[in-house]
Chains A and B, each alone.
Chain A
Amino acid sequence: MLIDWFTVGAQLLNFIVLVWLMKRFLYQPVLDAIAAREQKIAAQLADAAATKEKAHQQQDEFQTKNQAFDEQRAELLREARDAAKAERERLQREAREAADAASAQRAKALLTDAQHLHAEIARHTQQQVFDISRRVLGDLAGLSLEQRMCEVFIQRLQAVEGPALATLGAALQAVSEAEPALLRSAFELPAPQRAAIQAALDESFGQPIPLQFEATPELVSGIELSAPGQKLAWSISDYLGALSSGLEERLGVTEPA
């Protein structure tokens, strides 16, 4: 007989005991450990999910902030650019105005210099012409300059004719002893020249013309006869005026408009 019933009973008991022991010492602890680990992993996963969610939220927040910062920066940049542009325009305008002012001042200074130069040249030329004429006339004919000026004036007077003579005569008709015609010269005329001029006037207009002699240095060596509304003159200043015009053209100096 292969089956021993005592052994069967004993093995039954042994197996039941083994089941209980294995449950107690193997399955329960191992399953508990696995469950604990799974719980821990689940907790870690939940934690990771929460962290991820939080990270997402923070990312969104940062993106929003970044966008706001970008917009703010762009706004500030635009404002700064506008301010810089306005400042540049203001500085350019000021510089242009300053340059214009400096240019105008320089032009004015140049004109003043030219005028001074012109006056200086005129004065110097006058002096030179005067000296040369005086010396030439003295050397050639023994005449004084004043004497020759009188002669020239008288020749001019006598050369006047036609309507000009009539107009001048009408003007001279109006003069009287109280308001004599004015004869101005650059220097005091000597008596012989005065008499010669008076005689020439009287002769030209056929009546005595009351004259008042006056020395006017501005005439620059010349003689000028003034009656109400009319004037007959000869002086070096006319030549000097022509000379001055020529010089101004050469120098390019003109009175600013």
Chain B
Amino acid sequence: MRLTPDQWIFWQHGFFKLNATIVFTWALMAVLVLGATLITRRLATGHERSRWQNLLEIVVTAIMGQIEDVGLKEPRRYLGFLGTLFLFVAAAALATMVPGYEPPTASLSTTAALALCVLVAVPLFGISGQGLAAYLKSYVQPTPIMLPFNLISEVSRTLALAVRLFGNMMSGAMIIAILLSITPFLFPIVMTVLGLLTGMVQAYIFTILAAVYIAAATHSSKPKPSPTAAN
């Protein structure tokens, strides 16, 4: 039994390899980009618009609304990063309905990559929002004694992001795989539905946490919201 799709390797040449994580990620990317291209090819600016356009607009405006609710004043600036995070994780979870598919987010490599992205993006947005000095100063707030704790917090929350998503997605896939082998048909379907819900919740949590970290980095003078560990 594979714990992660990384172990499902299609092709390897030395250090380079083509495993299921990368392949399914490409597939998801293709679906997302192709779908977006198809829908946005004929966007209507009037009152009459297609159902797909409505769906996309609802998704995009909902993400922007969530970003704004977290406290980021210019949601459009963060939409590319945070929106893509959400859509990718959500799409990876939704695609579990397809037989033979394994979500790339069930790979610790993927979640680690996403968490690293957050780890890099937070200081980038923070520096661009309030300047390098102000951002670095936030690490010694409220007192310089807090510097090591703040640094540990940065690393640990990144680790938590990666492990949380990986654990949830991997466990969901594992439970379904195990249940399929002992109680076929009905129960795995219920668990798949539950897995979909879990995947959506995880996508939401991952995105919101990333948004909260960015918001904390861009508003250093304000008290940092404590990152609530979900699950």
Contact = CB atoms under 8 A, between A and B. Distances in A.
- Bound together: yes
A17 B84 CA distance: 10
B149 interface: no
B29 A21 contact: yes
A7 B37 CA distance: 27
Interface string B20-54: 01100110010011001100100111110000010
Given A14-B25, A19-B81, A27-B60, A33 B109 contact: no
Given A6-B16, A25-B37, A33 B43 contact: yes
Given A12-B113, A36-B45, A37-B46, A23 B40 contact: no
Contact of A2 (B81, B83, B108, B117): B108
A37 B47 CA distance: 7
B45 A26 contact: no
Contacts of A17: 29
Interface string A3-36: 1111111111011111111110111011111101
Interface size class of B (residues with CB under 8 A): 35 or more
Nearest to B20: A7
Contacts of A3: 108-109, 112
A88 interface: no
B15 A6 contact: yes
Contacts of B43: 29-30, 32-33
A123 interface: no
Given A4-B109, A11-B104, A26 B56 contact: yes
Nearest to A44: B47
Contacts of A56: none
B202 interface: no
Given A11-B21, A11-B113, A37-B46, A30 B57 contact: yes
B3 interface: yes
A29 B40 CA distance: 6
B4 interface: yes
9 contacts: A2-B4, A4-B19, A14-B25, A18-B33, A19-B80, A22-B33, A26-B33, A26-B60, A29-B40
> Which 10 A-B residue pairings sit nearest by Cβ, starting from the closest?
A11-B113, A7-B109, A26-B36, A29-B40, A36-B45, A33-B43, A2-B108, A23-B80, A12-B113, A25-B36
Given A11-B107, A31-B60, 20 more contacts: A4-B6, A4-B107, A6-B17, A7-B17, A8-B110, A8-B116, A11-B21, A11-B25, A11-B110, A14-B26, A14-B29, A18-B32, A18-B84, A22-B80, A27-B79, A30-B40, A31-B79, A33-B43, A33-B53, A34-B60
